[in-house]
Amino acid sequence: MKKLIIFLMVFSVAASVFASTPMPSSVKRILRNTPKDALVGIGVAKAANQSMSMRLSETRARASLTRQLAMISDTVIVEQFIQSYFDPATGQLFRDVITRTISQARFSGSYIAGNAVDKDGATWTVIVLKKEDALKAILEAKEAGVQAVPAMASFDMEQKFDNAFNTVNKMDPFIIYE
């Protein structure tokens, strides 16, 4: 419950920033051209120069993808633990290892769908991670989790992945601001 409240607080802060920073039409055009079966990360930055803004906005877009993958894995793990008899400490360790692995992932297969600079000079970056590459990242994280908690070897994340992916994919992408 505490994590849900924290998530809602972070989301509301991001939403308030989003409301004050309109998305440029060029970014909307990029989003319309992204695959429907993919996660989309959006980052925005305005730094001392264009190069720094570009790098920072790419980092923020990747952070957005990380958050979305973490939501997918959390959804799958929580659903599994509701249906199983594992003790909470085991579940928390498994979840922590997966979350840490996802946060350090390189997201092979992700690509920059486009960049844009708005009228205020802020750089926007849109990064796409296709569904099959998202599944690969989740399964790699699961393997790291199994090394830490061998009892979880029978846990089938792939089976429950589709529902969680579709839920997160229907949400607006997280937009990471300054």
The whole-model pTM stands at 0.78
In terms of residue numbers, what domain contains 145?
33-176
> Measured at the alpha carbon of residue 42, what is the angle toward residues 40 and 46, in degrees to the nearest 5?
165
User: Confidence band (pLDDT; 50, 70, 90) for 172?
Assistant: confident
- Helix 88-103, helix 50-82: angle, nearest 10: 160
90 is a domain residue = yes
2 is a domain residue = no
pLDDT digits (tens, 9 = 90+) for 32-72: 999 989 999 999 999 999 999 999 999 999 999 999 998 88
- Return the residue matching tokens 């319309």: 32
92 is a domain residue = yes
If one counts the domains in the chain, the total is 1
Tell whether the model's pLDDT for residue 125 goes beyond 50: yes
Average of per-residue pLDDT across 114-141: 92
103 is a domain residue = yes
8 is a domain residue = no
Tell whether the model's pLDDT for residue 145 goes beyond 50: yes
87 against 28, higher pLDDT:
28
126 is a domain residue = yes
Phi-psi region of 109 (alpha: psi -120 to 50; beta: other; left: phi over 0): left
pLDDT digits (tens, 9 = 90+) for 12-26: 444 444 445 789 999
23 is a domain residue = no
Q: Under a CB-based contact definition with an 8 Å cutoff, are residues 169 and 39 in contact?
A: yes
Contacts of 56 (CB under 8 A, 6+ apart): 43, 45, 47, 123
What does the block give as tokens for 97?
Answer: 């290892």
